[in-house]
């Protein structure tokens, strides 16, 4: 376990000391939600937006947080401060908690809040996140939002893990999954966007409504690039001029191959490059950022 600081049971501890009961129903029933943001040069990105989405996930799962929005803000900043890193991966999570062994009633849970800050991590390593990956369109179906509403960020991710295994089997870096209707959804931890005829398109439903994706939308508006959330079929994806993904742990990430076949000329796309460069230059300036110090002193 690398460096970092975890807030658990009301205390700040080292990652290796951060333990939960094996009986927490957040684990045994998949009854937990989470959210992830990052600090870049000590600016926490869209902190309020991430905590607001976290609150939506909490309510969507009919959980109740023991901490207020403001308290969670402070805990996140304190984790970054104590971790002593400028660029951090920041997570908040809420589990249902332990329920008496003789009951199966989720209303009796005692929700447990955990937060932590670790050194910033790149989902595919820094180089691949910057230069591009080879994604496999998996045969594993994404869990339907009719079963588990994917707008609520949660740990029921066994489909995503098996899709990743399948991608590795095929010599690819990671996976994209289609939903029950056969249309494109998302990958394990990231949204996917495609460019066709100068227009950016991304799946509308059965996906997490990514905060990083929201920032891509904003950049598109700034740059007068058409942006649409819509249905995208498997065939339409194959006809993309460019493909890229978005997530906290990597930002705007080019996809250069699909099922080991080059997309366009096989290099990072022109629009992708532009959005990626803009994203990181703005992040470096503290775009949508909340300074760690300001939260701590606020």
Taking Cα atoms as reference points, which of 42, 78, 123 lies closest to residue 297?
Answer: 78
Which tokens belong to 83? Answer: 């971790």
Cα–Cα distance, 237 to 228 (Å, whole number): 14
* Position among 39, 75, 114, 208 found at the interface with its own copies (CB under 8 A): 114
Binding of residue 100 to its own copies (CB under 8 A): yes
* Position among 75, 76, 79, 98 found at the interface with its own copies (CB under 8 A): 98
| Smallest separation, CB 270 to its own copies (Å) | 28
Q: Between residues 174 and 242, which has the closer beta carbon with respect to its own copies?
A: 174
Binding of residue 102 to its own copies (CB under 8 A): yes
Going by C-beta distance under 8 Å and a sequence separation of 6 or more, which residues neighbour residue 189? 123, 160, 247, 249
Binding of residue 6 to its own copies (CB under 8 A): yes
Which segment (154-162, 257-265, 267-275, 280-288) binds its own copies by CB under 8 A? Answer: 154-162
* Position among 188, 210, 251, 254 found at the interface with its own copies (CB under 8 A): 188
Cα–Cα distance, 296 to 77 (Å, whole number): 6
Going by C-beta distance under 8 Å and a sequence separation of 6 or more, which residues neighbour residue 29? 96, 106
Binding of residue 11 to its own copies (CB under 8 A): no
Chain centroid to CA 4: 19
Which segment (97-105, 217-225, 256-264, 284-292) binds its own copies by CB under 8 A? Answer: 97-105
Compute the half-sphere exposure of residue 60: CA atoms within 13 Å on the CB side of its CA. 20
Reduced to 3 states (helix: H, G, I; strand: E, B; else coil), residue 101 is coil
Please name every residue paired with 201 in a beta bridge, in sequence order, or none if there are none: 194, 228
Binding of residue 86 to its own copies (CB under 8 A): no
Cα–Cα distance, 184 to 2 (Å, whole number): 35
Binding of residue 56 to its own copies (CB under 8 A): no
Q: What is the size of the binding site for its own copies (CB under 8 A)? A: 66
Reduced to 3 states (helix: H, G, I; strand: E, B; else coil), residue 82 is helix
* Position among 111, 189, 210, 289 found at the interface with its own copies (CB under 8 A): 189
Cα–Cα distance, 210 to 245 (Å, whole number): 10
| Smallest separation, CB 122 to its own copies (Å) | 8
- Looking up tokens 């760690």 gives 292
- Contact residues toward its own copies (CB under 8 A) are 1-2, 4, 6, 8, 15-16, 18-23, 25-32, 34, 61-62, 89, 93, 96, 98, 100-102, 104-107, 114, 118-119, 121, 123-125, 140-144, 146-148, 154-162, 164-165, 168, 174, 180, 188-189
């Amino acid at each position: 376990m690398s460096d970092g600081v975890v807030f658990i049971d009301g205390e700040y501890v080292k990652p290796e000391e951060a333990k939960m009961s094996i009986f927490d129903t957040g684990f045994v029933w998949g009854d937990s939600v989470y959210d992830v943001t990052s600090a870049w040069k000590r600016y926490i990105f869209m902190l309020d937006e991430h905590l607001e989405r976290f609150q939506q996930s909490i309510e969507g799962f009919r959980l109740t947080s023991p901490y207020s929005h403001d308290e969670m803000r402070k805990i996140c900043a304190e984790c970054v401060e104590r971790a002593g890193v400028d660029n951090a991966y920041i997570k908040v999570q809420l589990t249902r908690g332990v329920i008496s062994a003789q009951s199966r009633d989720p209303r009796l849970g005692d929700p447990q809040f955990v937060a932590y800050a670790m050194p910033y991590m790149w989902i595919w390593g820094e180089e691949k996140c910057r230069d591009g990956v080879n994604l496999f369109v998996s045969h594993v179906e994404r869990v339907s939002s009719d079963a588990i509403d994917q707008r609520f960020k949660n740990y029921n991710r066994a489909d995503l893990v098996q899709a990743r295994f399948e991608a590795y089997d095929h010599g690819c870096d990671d996976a994209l999954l289609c939903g029950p209707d056969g249309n494109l959804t998302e990958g394990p931890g990231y949204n996917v966007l495609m460019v066709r005829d100068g227009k950016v398109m991304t799946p509308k439903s059965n996906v997490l409504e990514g905060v990083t994706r929201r920032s891509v939308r904003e950049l598109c508006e700034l740059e007068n690039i058409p942006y649409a959330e819509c249905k995208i079929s498997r065939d339409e994806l194959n006809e993309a001029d460019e493909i890229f993904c978005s997530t906290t742990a990597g930002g705007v990430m080019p996809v250069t191959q699909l099922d080991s076949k080059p997309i366009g000329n096989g290099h990072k796309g022109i629009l992708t490059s532009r959005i990626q460069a803009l994203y990181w230059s703005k992040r470096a300036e503290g775009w949508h950022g909340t300074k760690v110090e300001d939260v701590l002193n606020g």
